[in-house]
Structure 1
Amino acid sequence: MLFKRNWELVICILIYTINNTAIAQEVNTFDSQGNKHGKWKEYFDSGKEMLKYEGEFIHGKETGMFKFYQEGLKQPAALMHFSPSHDTIRATYLSQRGKTISEGKLLNKQRTGTWKYYHKDLDRVMMIENYEAGKLHGDRKIFYEDGTLAEEAHYVAGELHGSRKLLSVKGVVLEDLQYVNGELHGPAKFYNGKGVLMSEGAYKRNKHHGTWRYYEQGKLKREKQY
């Protein structure tokens, strides 16, 4: 009798384990309204060997972390974190070595806010940009591998607008320019690698304008009118 009871108990445990394993492994299900609900995996091929994405839906809405793949590649190309309370998505793009290429936020499939880009196979920031509705808007900075500033500029609605400076790896300003609505417009100065002024003048709608001065070894060599 004791053996029989123990055997029945073992069978019940096995049935419970099998049922729960099946439930845990169930994917690609829908709710009563026909919306994706629960864990989902989609593939590029019918043989289900090339994963397209994997993540979880709650009544048709992505939630939590999703992994996205590129066709033919095994490691995730992008990680996207969906929030149940707002539409902003936190996105991270990855190399096949798992290194972060870029990271930032998406809204309505467009970049928004601050985005960071990294030097290849390094954890050092290569560029910082700011976006609004998918267009560059605000300051943009580019850095050399050692972290030294290489360029800084300002954008408005996707176009250069305001100051733009280019710097050498030693931090010396090489170009100091002004832009208006994407065009060179305003004072301009050019320096050599030692920071010595080489030329200066002004632009008007991408063209030289007015008096330009050219220097050699810091001394005025000639002037030219445009």
Structure 2
Amino acid sequence: MRSTFLFCVLGVISFSLLGQEYNTYDANGKRHGKWQKRYENSDQLRYEGTFDHGKEIGEFKFYKPSGGNTPTAIKIFSKDSDTVQIKYFTAKGKIISKGQMINKDRIGVWTYYHNGSDKIMMTEHYKSGKLNGEQLTYFENGQLTEKTIYVDGKRQGKRTMYSEKGVVLKEFTYENDQLHGMTKYYDTQGELIIEGNYKRDRKDGIWKYYENGKLSEQKLFPLQKSGS
């Protein structure tokens, strides 16, 4: 009885459940076959899945300490590849996000969902763990709310923001993750209201302000101090 208790707590010794043997090793001491591991001093599963001579293969389910029977992450491992398919879930089983990883680096397309919904909130592209490509964000109605370009983890080029009706509201230009270049602001009808340039995250040169489609004011940046 004492040894059985220790085996359950550690979750690293083989045991039999409904005729299925878990937590076994091959001749070289590597995990092999179906495994289940529980949290210390708890009956709550931490993970369950299958090993092939020390390598994870197929579907692995991961649970939180108080997560019950609903996995908060599911990873699918390939026998012939280091790429892992991953899905994250809420405590109620609603999908949060999904994508791929190699080791700890995100790769390819990742998709995120609105809270408690199967509607896409955002998609983004990764290369070797860094954002690389388009990042698209959506309202719950499916309308695009923001589009940003990343290169090697940094914003690069145009970033555009939209209203729920698809009207362009803001346009920014980035270089090496800094505001650098033309910026424009529009009202909800799509009329230009402000335009000007940034240079290394600071307003630079003449900024123009419009009312009812007509130029109403101009400012020169950096602002000149009075008396200078």
Instruction: Report the Cα distance in structure 1 between the residues aligned to 2:190 and 2:102, rounded to whole angstroms.
Output: 42
The percentage of aligned residue pairs carrying the same residue is 44
Which residue identity does 1:124 align to in structure 2?
K
Matched, 1:120 2:110: no
Matched, 1:224 2:215: no
Matched positions, count: 205
Matched, 1:55 2:44: no
Following TM superposition, by how much is the alpha carbon of 1:42 offset from its aligned partner in structure 2, in angstroms? 0.5
Which runs of 4 or more aligned residues in structure 1 lie more than 6 Å from their structure 2 counterparts after TM superposition?
A: none
Which residue identity does 1:62 align to in structure 2?
E
Query: Once the two structures are superposed, what CA deviation does each residue of 1:148-206 show, in whole Å capped at 9, x if it has no partner?
Result: 00000000111111110010111111101100111000011000111111110110000
Matched, 1:198 2:193: yes
Which residue identity does 1:57 align to in structure 2?
F
Following TM superposition, by how much is the alpha carbon of 1:135 offset from its aligned partner in structure 2, in angstroms? 1.2
**SS where residue 97 of structure 1 aligns?**
coil
Instruction: Report the Cα distance in structure 1 between the residues aligned to 2:117 and 2:99, rounded to whole angstroms.
Output: 18
Instruction: Report the Cα distance in structure 2 between the residues aligned to 1:223 and 1:95, rounded to whole angstroms.
Output: 50
Structure 1: runs of 5 or more not aligned: 1-20
Written as runs of structure 1 = structure 2, the 5 A alignment for 1:175-186 is: 175-186=170-181
Structure 2: runs of 5 or more not aligned: 1-15, 222-228
Matched, 1:72 2:41: no
Following TM superposition, by how much is the alpha carbon of 1:46 offset from its aligned partner in structure 2, in angstroms? 3.1
Which residue identity does 1:141 align to in structure 2?
L
Following TM superposition, by how much is the alpha carbon of 1:22 offset from its aligned partner in structure 2, in angstroms? 7.1
Matched, 1:108 2:88: no
**SS where residue 22 of structure 2 aligns?**
coil
Instruction: Report the Cα distance in structure 1 between the residues aligned to 2:73 and 2:132, rounded to whole angstroms.
Output: 24
Name the Cα RMSD after superposition. 1.3
Instruction: Report the Cα distance in structure 2 between the residues aligned to 1:155 and 1:185, rounded to whole angstroms.
Output: 14
Bigger proportion of residues as helix = 1
User: TM-score, with normalisation over the residues of structure 2?
Assistant: 0.87
The residue aligned with 1:89 is 84
The residue aligned with 2:204 is 209
Instruction: Report the Cα distance in structure 1 between the residues aligned to 2:73 and 2:92, rounded to whole angstroms.
Output: 12
Instruction: Report the Cα distance in structure 1 between the residues aligned to 2:102 and 2:213, rounded to whole angstroms.
Output: 50
**SS where residue 111 of structure 1 aligns?**
strand
Matched, 1:170 2:165: yes
Following TM superposition, by how much is the alpha carbon of 1:45 offset from its aligned partner in structure 2, in angstroms? 2.1
Following TM superposition, by how much is the alpha carbon of 1:218 offset from its aligned partner in structure 2, in angstroms? 1.0
Which residue identity does 1:70 align to in structure 2?
K
Which residue identity does 1:197 align to in structure 2?
L
Which residue identity does 2:94 align to in structure 1?
K
Mark the structure with the bigger radius of gyration: 1
